[in-house]
Chain A
Amino acid sequence: MTYLAKPRLLRPDTPRNTLGYTRRDYEGAISTLCAGCGHDSISAAVVQACYDLDIEPHRVAKLSGIGCSSKTPDYFLGNSHGFNTTHGRMPSVLTGAALANRDLIYLGVSGDGDSASIGIGQFAHAMRRGVNMTYLVENNGVYGLTKGQFSATADKGSKSKRGVVNNETPIDLVALALQLGASYVARSFSGDKEQLIPLIKGALRHLGPSFIDVISPCVTFNNHAGSTKSYDYVREHNDAVNRLDFILPRDRINASYPPGSLRRIVQHDGSILHLRKLDSDYDPSDRIGAMNHLQERHALGEIVTGLLYVDSSAEDLHRHLNTVEKPLNQLGDAYLCPGSKVLEALNASLRRS
């Protein structure tokens, strides 16, 4: 498919964020995905989240694996560097990038095949390593790009378009992320931007590994009766534990929420997550509780969405490695090379005595 350039003409009253950017400044190339693909809604949510957060587009590095989902970084944040890596290996490339420059915002985009099958090892290790990133899985329960094979997140008993029934146990990446040490874990639905956009914002401002599993129907291969990742199925079985309002430090706190149903979580950077509780006994700071809740509801056939867990005091890989504040990719020769005098002393210690 060829790209039609979007007209760059802007009306004078086009809204701008505090940095003066319009929403358009956060868009990318025109999507080549199927019309109605859930992944496109997620791209739109990313654009909105970055616009709302006043992120300078070039301060984001977007990385992905291979799949329809992994193509999407081309379709948002056109002024950000992107890297479409190899199938299932985005987490390692992102980890390396994050090591090189701790100052950028890292957004990893993956699919359920990319993360739950070929890349499950890298997914797991990036979570446990504490890489400071936002990791989105655009989960459609199939391999879209290779035309509709079941993925490892497909529910047992779900039917493929051709009528084949999946008999294998599904992998729940949210459960894994909780277990493996992700410090911000959420699930959402591509069709629910009210829920998704604040979740992405919270993740982008979170320090540490943030993981969001976004159920994202594949209209071409997995949006029929019998699929548990179709638009209809998810709408019917969605069980949101909370609704998130994301508030930047500069925003005035909106006092209109009914007291008692609000939970306020302050992140490292001062940003505030307001959780409007839908489920009265849900506590997002309790990791074990989150795991239990997830399993209980899963047994009832429900899909739990919302912010399931957040640890606002988490640390990241750079802190563990005690690296200098200045990004490693900006250290000059003088900071890196010990020079000839040191080498001469070293030679002396290696000579016969």
Chain B
Amino acid sequence: MSAIKTIRASNDFVIKFANVNGSGSASANELFARAIMNMGVPVAPRNIFPSNIQGMPTWYEMRVSAAGWLGRRGGCDLMVAMNPQTWDRDIAELSSGGYLVYDSTKTLPRSRFREDITVLGVPLTEICNREYTDPRQRQLFKNIMYVGALTALLDMDLTVVDKLIADQYRGKDKLIDANVNALKLGYEYAKASHSCPIGLRIERCDGVGDRIFINGNDACGLGAVYGGATVAAWYPITPSTSVIEAFSGYCRKFRTDPDNGKARYAVVQAEDELASIGMVIGAAWNGARAFTATSGPGISLMQEFFGLAYFAEVPVVVFNVQRGGPSTGMPTRTQQSDLIACAYASHGDTRHVLLFPQDPYECFTFGAQAFDLADRLQTPVFVLLDLDIGMNDRLCQPFDWDDQRRYDRGKVMSAEELEAGKNFGRYLDVDGDGIAWRTIPGTHPSKGAFFSRGTTRNAYAKYSEAGTDYIYNMERLRRKFETAKKLLPAPVLQRAAQPARYGAIYYGSTSPAMAEASVLLALQGFHVDTLRVRSFPFADEVIDFIYAHDGVFVVEQNESGQLRMLLINEGEVDPKRLLRVLHYDGTPITASFISGKIAEALALRKVKVASLTTPTRKKVAS
């Protein structure tokens, strides 16, 4: 071997697959990720895909981390370069000392490679052309064949992959045999032609525990089922479409009446996002739990209706799986750039409840809770996730559900209460929490009917343009927003190992990268308390956290610092206290990006203390 200094690592590296979309690579790549997970090694895969159905480049990036870091790491130690179009940039992206697996059927000139990498050719096309006659099989089996080669190169257990294939195609023996055969062909070729294992290895360990592996959109769909949603209306848009697909799928399984096969739910694909949110508002006004799922452009279209739901106080739930904006923006890339568009959606003085799940577990939990919150607060509730959490499988804690839990339908006056003469004023604040009682259409023959509208009204829902009525209503809505603070998921505080003058606030999909960044920073001697914001309006603790530190980094994935803006605005915080750490190129934020920015800023402020060798972090509150 030459003098290449090869990367050597066990259970801690990044593999990237460069594919052409529509070539069938996605399922092979996923299979490989699952194989690693089944060996007990934590893995965090990410799809990087174009807004196109066939023929464009896609990448599947997989971070293997025994330490359990699930954020994107950046860089690449092993590239499986299957796409000639992106060859040059894929080769360039490999870390020095990295490994390249490619289809070596056609000999390439040395100039197409790099001197500082290990090149591992597998003549995939040649083997496939030899083994198969069907052109489709010739294409498809290349994918499973490189999985076989990787299994050998990384010293993995072939039976683990065999078993996954058997599970995937259970009942279709022919397919199992064909796939297992292709897998073996790749495996054997690698064993025979390269010295296996290479410097990178997967070794069995127990890093996965009882965690589950699922994507956030599926979890949101499941959360909506558990949360009691019965009506969903939507319009297709990446990256939110699969929320509805998941909801429909789980409903078919769990909400089909066993006696007559009838559906205990309704899903309607509307003609656009205006109609989707309109249907959701109609259903919620009429007492069903209803939601839509959408992304940036849909949020923009829904603005007028958000105002109606806010002002007429209709409990709707909106899952916004954020993508890169503005306009059509980067439809298949991730961002957290709809905070402002959702927090103050619609004209006039509006403000909305937002929830920020960090992973699929919270997508499920918040997804279900959103319906209770919407009913309790009688207002739209937005669950703001993003493409990174929504469309990538992620290890997370298993879902849980308390069977004693009953849906909180909030203040709904019943026919009996009306009959008994209870005072009903649709917009009357009888309890002082800003939340008035409502009635569901059809409740009582002569009592409790009211006319909902987006225009101003008095406490008894009668049209009124009187300034006093208007102010009464606006002040009540403000009180309701204050009430919301006490009901929403509280922020999660992590204190640094040593007293820290600086803090960092972050939310949503930034979570795993932030956790890792804290450790990286501590290793360099920078101690930072962190606070994960999980909802808006902000709990008082969030503002207290800012005042408790000399400066607070606000880490987020958008260009303008939208959470920072909200904090300044709602907390009346001096903007100088809040330091921007912004990542917005459409890729998920990394720990090295965060720690780099924070270390640089802290170094300038001379806050470094003696470096710790073993950073210990204790959880103070959650």
Contacts and interface: CB of A to CB of B under 8 A. Distances in A.
Interface of A: 3, 25, 29, 56-59, 61, 63, 73-74, 78-86, 89, 91-101, 103-104, 121-122, 124-125, 129, 317-318, 321-325, 328-331, 333, 335-340, 342-343, 346-347, 350-353
Nearest to B393: A350
A63 B440 CA distance: 14
A16 B128 CA distance: 84
Contacts of B265: 323, 328
A-side interface mostly: helix
Given A79-B446, A347-B398, A85 B278 contact: yes
Nearest to A85: B308
A100 B288 contact: yes
A79 B278 contact: no
Given A338-B226, A343-B400, A103 B274 contact: no
B102 to A, nearest CB: 30
B286 A101 contact: yes
Contacts, number: 235
Nearest to B398: A347
B437 interface: no
B445 A125 contact: no
B283 A97 contact: yes
Which are the 7 A-B pairs with shortest beta-carbon distances? A96-B282, A92-B278, A100-B288, A96-B279, A81-B441, A329-B287, A93-B282
A336 B446 CA distance: 30
Interface string B436-477: 000111111110011111110000001100000000000000
Interface of B: 34, 37-38, 40, 163-164, 167, 208, 210-214, 222, 225-226, 228, 230-231, 233, 250, 254-255, 257, 260-268, 270-272, 274-288, 290, 304-305, 308, 312, 398-403, 406-407, 439-446, 449-455, 462-463
A76 to B, nearest CB: 11
A322 B261 contact: yes
B212 A81 contact: no
B399 to A, nearest CB: 5
A323 B262 contact: yes
Contact of B266 (A58, A74, A99): A99
A84 B451 contact: yes
Contact of B442 (A81, A322, A324): A81
Contacts of B455: 84
Given A73-B451, A84-B451, A84-B454, A351 B210 contact: yes
A93 B439 contact: no
25 contacts: A58-B441, A58-B443, A81-B442, A81-B451, A83-B452, A85-B278, A85-B454, A86-B278, A89-B278, A96-B279, A96-B286, A97-B283, A97-B441, A99-B279, A100-B230, A100-B284, A100-B287, A317-B268, A328-B288, A330-B287, A331-B230, A333-B228, A336-B225, A337-B407, A353-B38
A335 B264 contact: yes
Given A61-B442, A81-B441, A336-B255, A352 B38 contact: yes
Contacts of A352: 34, 37-38, 40, 208, 213
Nearest to A350: B212
A122 B275 contact: yes
Contacts of B399: 343, 346-347
A121 B403 CA distance: 43
B286 A89 contact: no
A3 B463 CA distance: 10
A302 B268 CA distance: 39
B418 to A, nearest CB: 11
Contacts of B398: 347, 350-351
A122 B275 CA distance: 7
A58 B211 contact: no
Given A78-B449, A324-B262, A350-B212, A339 B403 contact: yes
Contacts of A93: 278-279, 281-282, 285
* Residue of B283, B402, B446 ringed by the most chain A CB atoms within 10 A: B283
Nearest to B415: A58
A100 B231 contact: yes
A178 B286 CA distance: 29
A336 B264 contact: yes
Contacts of A121: 271-272, 275
